[in-house]
Structure 1
Amino acid sequence: MTDYYFPIKHLHMTAVGLSIILFVIRAYWSVTGSALLQRRLVRILPHVVDTVLLVCGVILAAMIGPNQPWILTKIVLLIAYIGVGTIAIKRGRTTRGRVTAALIAVAIFAYIVGVAITKDSGSWFSML
């Protein structure tokens, strides 16, 4: 690993925390129909944070190397999280659908964090 690994990892983890906080806030505002969801900063900031998160993740994956199956698991789950997250915030037709999608997205996010911590595709279940 290079001297840059730990600063990039910490930036990645900070972006992870900010990303889920911003998602939960935006999902709540979506469910409640809040006008705050339309504010310019609210529309832009999550994309900036998620871009930092993704760029750091790609750099870390390149540093770690290609023979890590758990990284592929994180990528597949990330795609699922994004899809379900868009339903929770934008595309959900009903309040119930948005709430359900938000809860599923948070569960997927928690699974991704478990994969990152355990470095195992089984996530938290690999610890049982």
Structure 2
Amino acid sequence: MLYLTLKQIHFTAAMLSIGLFFLRGSLQLAGVPWRRWWPLRYLPHLVDTVLLGVAIKLAVLIHQYPLVHGWLTAKLVALLGYILLGHWALRRDQPRRRAVAAFISALLCVGYIVGVGLTKSASWRLL
């Protein structure tokens, strides 16, 4: 029962995190000053903290760890790429062309992370 509860929290936090990133990135590209709205500045950090904490708890609970199990290693590497690309996409001083490329690339990383999480396979593909 604990596993299912944690898995549901993880799934919900992941969807919130992705949605908030998509919203902030879209507003950024549209030139809307979203940083003035405190929920968009602070809520993503809270959601991502819950997401990461539950992910660690789930890994310990099912005895599968990054650098031991390939699918979790792939998720971790893609997560680091997503964080870096997301940072570039949301920077204020980023040229628009580079911000768009970083935003799309970050969303592709998220898609890969979700696919690997659903299939438990690092070789997840769109087709």
Please report the TM-score for the alignment, with normalisation by the length of structure 2.
0.90
CA distance in 2, matches of 1:85, 1:32: 16
Matches within 5 A, 1:1-128: 3-66=1-64, 67-90=68-91, 93-124=94-125
Distance 1:91 1:73, change over 3 A: farther
Kept after mapping to 2: 8 A contact 1:92/1:98 = no
- C-alpha contact 2:75 2:113 (8 A) present in aligned 1: yes
Structure 1 segments (4+ residues) deviating >4 Å: none
Provide the C-alpha distance between the structure 1 equivalents of 2:32 and 2:16, rounded to a whole number of angstroms. 20
Q: How many residues align?
A: 124
Q: 1:57 to 1:44 in 2, by over 3 A?
A: same
Structure 1 gaps, min length 5: none
Q: Is the 8 Å Cα contact of residues 87 and 98 (structure 1) preserved in structure 2?
A: yes
Post-superposition offset of 1:96: 1.3
The question of whether the paired residues in 1 share the 8 Å contact of 2:28 and 2:34 is answered with no
Alignment TM-score, normalising by the size of structure 1: 0.90
> CA separation in 1, counterparts of 2:33 and 2:92?
16
Gaps in structure 2 of 5+ consecutive residues: none
RMSD: 1.5
